[in-house]
Amino acid sequence: MLVRMRLMLALIFTVLALFTARLMVLQLVRTDEFAARSQQNATEQQRIIPLRGRILARDGTVLADDRVAYDLLYRGGPAPEWERLKALLGVDGELRQPDRSRPEEVNNGAVLVWNIPDTLVPAVEERVAGNPNLYLRERIERTYPTNLAAQTIGYTAQADPTRNIGYSTDDLVGVTGIEASYEAALFGSAGLRRVAVDNRGTEVASQSLWAATPGLDVVLTIDPQLQRHAEDVLVGALGYVNEDRVRVGLPEEDVVRGAIVAMDPRTGEVLAMASTPTFDQNVFTHRPSDPENVQAILNDQVNKPLSNRAVEAFAPASTFKVVTSSTLLEYGYATRNTVYSCSARFRFGNITWRNWATFDKGGYTVLDAIADSCNTYFWNAAVNTPNFSVGWAPFIEDVVERARAFGFGSLTDVGLIEEKTGLIPDEAWVDAQPGEDFQHGWLPGFTLNTVIGQGAVLATPIQTAQFISTLAMDGMMARPHLVKQVGEQVMEPVIEYVEGDHWQTLQDGMALMFTDYPSANILGPRVFPRSVAGKTGTAQTSRGGDYTHAWFMGYSPVEDPQIAFVVFIEHGGSSSRVSVPLARDFLAGYWSQQGVEVGSDR
SS3 assignment, position 594: coil
pLDDT digit string, tens, across residues 242-288: 999 999 999 999 999 999 999 999 999 999 999 999 999 999 998 88
Alpha helices in 451-579, H assignment, sequence order: 461-472, 503-512, 520-523
The confidence band for 28, taking pLDDT boundaries of 50, 70 and 90, is low
Q: What are phi and psi of 411, to 5 degrees?
A: -70, 145
Beta-strand relationship, 549-556 and 351-354: unpaired
Taking CB atoms within 8 Å and a gap of at least 24, the contacts of 125-133 are 127/81, 127/84, 127/85, 127/88, 128/72, 128/81, 128/85, 130/81, 131/78, 131/79, 131/80, 131/81, 132/75, 132/77, 132/198, 132/200, 132/201, 132/202, 133/74, 133/75, 133/76, 133/77, 133/78, 133/79
Q: Is the pLDDT of residue 583 over 80?
A: yes
- Report the C-alpha gap between 580 and 572 in whole angstroms: 12
- Report the C-alpha gap between 85 and 83 in whole angstroms: 5
| Confidence (pLDDT) at 66 | 95
Q: Is the pLDDT of residue 18 over 90?
A: no
Mean pLDDT of the chain: 91
Q: Is the pLDDT of residue 79 over 70?
A: yes
Asked if 500 contacts 475 with a C-beta cutoff of 8 angstroms, the reply is: yes
> Does 443 map to a domain?
yes
Q: Which of 165-193 are b and which e, b meaning 16 or more Cβ less than 10 Å from the residue's Cβ?
A: eebbbbbbbbbbbbbbbbbebbbbebbeb
Beta-strand relationship, 55-56 and 62-74: antiparallel
8 vs 189, which has greater pLDDT? 189
> Does 158 map to a domain?
no
> Does 434 map to a domain?
yes
Q: Residue 337 sits in which domain range?
A: 317-407+424-454
Q: Which of 323-338 are b and which e, b meaning 16 or more Cβ less than 10 Å from the residue's Cβ?
A: bbbbbbbbbebbeeeb
- Report the C-alpha gap between 257 and 237 in whole angstroms: 9
- Report the C-alpha gap between 61 and 144 in whole angstroms: 11
Average pLDDT estimate for 41-62: 89
CA torsion sign, 428 to 433 to 439 to 444? negative
> Does 108 map to a domain?
no
199 vs 306, which has greater pLDDT? 306
The confidence band for 169, taking pLDDT boundaries of 50, 70 and 90, is confident
Asked if 594 contacts 241 with a C-beta cutoff of 8 angstroms, the reply is: no
> Does 350 map to a domain?
yes
- Report the C-alpha gap between 408 and 406 in whole angstroms: 6
SS3 assignment, position 182: coil
SS3 assignment, position 491: coil
> Does 435 map to a domain?
yes
The confidence band for 600, taking pLDDT boundaries of 50, 70 and 90, is low
CA torsion sign, 514 to 553 to 508 to 450? negative
> Does 470 map to a domain?
no
| Confidence (pLDDT) at 474 | 98
Asked if 366 contacts 336 with a C-beta cutoff of 8 angstroms, the reply is: yes
Number of H helices, E strands in the chain: 21, 23
| Confidence (pLDDT) at 370 | 98
Q: Is the pLDDT of residue 555 over 50?
A: yes
pLDDT digit string, tens, across residues 185-201: 999 998 988 878 765 55
| Confidence (pLDDT) at 22 | 60
554 vs 8, which has greater pLDDT? 554
Q: How many domains does the chain have?
A: 1
pLDDT more than 70, % of the chain:
92
Q: What does DSSP assign to residue 176?
A: S
| Confidence (pLDDT) at 86 | 87
| Confidence (pLDDT) at 468 | 98
> Does 471 map to a domain?
no
Q: Which helix (H) or strand (E) holds 477?
A: strand 476-478
Average pLDDT estimate for 289-309: 93
Q: Is the pLDDT of residue 484 over 50?
A: yes
pLDDT more than 90, % of the chain:
74
The confidence band for 39, taking pLDDT boundaries of 50, 70 and 90, is very low
Q: What does DSSP assign to residue 518?
A: T
- Report the C-alpha gap between 366 and 381 in whole angstroms: 10
Average pLDDT estimate for 162-190: 93
Angle at 217 between CA 215 and CA 221, to 5 degrees: 150
| Confidence (pLDDT) at 367 | 98
| Confidence (pLDDT) at 539 | 96
| Confidence (pLDDT) at 104 | 79
CB atoms inside a 10 Å sphere around CB 97: 13
Average pLDDT estimate for 450-475: 98
| Confidence (pLDDT) at 365 | 98
| Confidence (pLDDT) at 41 | 52
pLDDT digit string, tens, across residues 390-438: 999 999 999 999 999 999 999 999 999 999 999 999 999 999 999 888 8
| Confidence (pLDDT) at 332 | 97
The confidence band for 16, taking pLDDT boundaries of 50, 70 and 90, is low
Q: Which helix (H) or strand (E) holds 143?
A: strand 134-143
Question: The domain that contains 376 carries what CATH number?
Answer: 3.40.710.10
| Confidence (pLDDT) at 475 | 98
Asked if 134 contacts 79 with a C-beta cutoff of 8 angstroms, the reply is: yes
246 vs 203, which has greater pLDDT? 246
| Confidence (pLDDT) at 1 | 57
The confidence band for 513, taking pLDDT boundaries of 50, 70 and 90, is very high
